[in-house]
Structure 1
Amino acid sequence: MKSRFLTGLFATAVMTFIVAATASQAGELSDRIASGEPVRLGFANEIPFAYPGESGEPKGFVNAYVLGVLGTMGIDKVEPVVTEWGGLIPGLNANRFDIITGGMNILKSRCENMAFSEPMGTMGDAFIVPKGNPKGISNYQDIKDKDGILVTGAGYNSVEAAKKEGVPDDKVMQVPGPTEILAAVKAGRADAGAVTFFTAQNLAKESDGALEVTDPNALPEWTKNWVGIGFREADRDFLAKFNEAQAKYLGSPEMMKAVEEYGYSEAQLPGDVKLEWVCANR
Structure 2
Amino acid sequence: MSQGPVIFAYLDEPPFCYPGKGGGAEGSDVELVAATLAALGISTFEARLATFAELLPGLASGRWAITTPLFITPERRTIVDFSRPVWALADGFLVREREQGRLNGYQAVASANARLVVVGGQVQEQTALGAGITPDKVLRVATQEEAVRAVSDGHADAYASVATAHRGYLARRPDPSLAVVTASDGVPASGAFAFGKSGAALRRRFDDVLAELIGSEWHRAMMARHGFGAAEY
| Bucket of the pairwise TM-score, normalised by the shorter protein | over 0.9
Match of 2:230 in 1: 266
The alpha-carbon deviation at position 164 of structure 1 amounts to: 1.9
The alpha-carbon deviation at position 108 of structure 1 amounts to: 1.8
5 Å matches for 1:96-107?
Answer: 96-101=63-68, 103-107=69-73
Amino acid across the alignment from 2:93: F
Amino acid across the alignment from 2:224: E
Match of 1:197 in 2: 163
- Normalized per residue, which structure has more helix? 1
SS in 2 for 1:55: helix
The alpha-carbon deviation at position 204 of structure 1 amounts to: 4.1
The alpha-carbon deviation at position 263 of structure 1 amounts to: 1.5
User: How many residues are aligned here?
Assistant: 232
CA contact under 8 A between 2:100 and 2:180: conserved in structure 1? no
CA contact under 8 A between 1:70 and 1:76: conserved in structure 2? yes
- Unpaired runs of 5+ residues, structure 1, are 1-32, 270-282
In the alignment, which of 33, 36, 42 is matched to residue 69 of structure 1?
Answer: 36
Please give the root-mean-square deviation of Cα atoms over the aligned residues, in Å.
Answer: 1.8
The alpha-carbon deviation at position 149 of structure 1 amounts to: 0.5
Closer/same/farther in 2, CA of residues 112 and 166 from structure 1, 3 Å limit? farther
In the alignment, which of 36, 44, 53 is matched to residue 86 of structure 1?
Answer: 53
CA distance in 2, matches of 1:170, 1:135: 24
SS in 1 for 2:125: helix
CA contact under 8 A between 1:124 and 1:196: conserved in structure 2? yes
Amino acid across the alignment from 1:230: A
Sequence identity (%): 25
5 Å matches for 1:30-41?
Answer: 36-41=3-8
Match of 2:198 in 1: 234
In the alignment, which of 170, 182, 187 is matched to residue 215 of structure 1?
Answer: 182
1:112-133 Cα offsets, whole Å, 9 max, x none, are: 2100001011111100111121
The alpha-carbon deviation at position 73 of structure 1 amounts to: 1.5
- Normalized per residue, which structure has more strand? 2
Q: Which structure would you say has the larger Rg?
A: 1
CA contact under 8 A between 1:60 and 1:262: conserved in structure 2? yes
SS in 2 for 1:208: coil
5 Å matches for 1:3-14?
Answer: none
Match of 1:161 in 2: 127
1:251-282 Cα offsets, whole Å, 9 max, x none, are: 1112223333211342222xxxxxxxxxxxxx
5 Å matches for 1:24-35?
Answer: none
- Unpaired runs of 5+ residues, structure 2, are none
The alpha-carbon deviation at position 247 of structure 1 amounts to: 0.7
Match of 1:150 in 2: 116
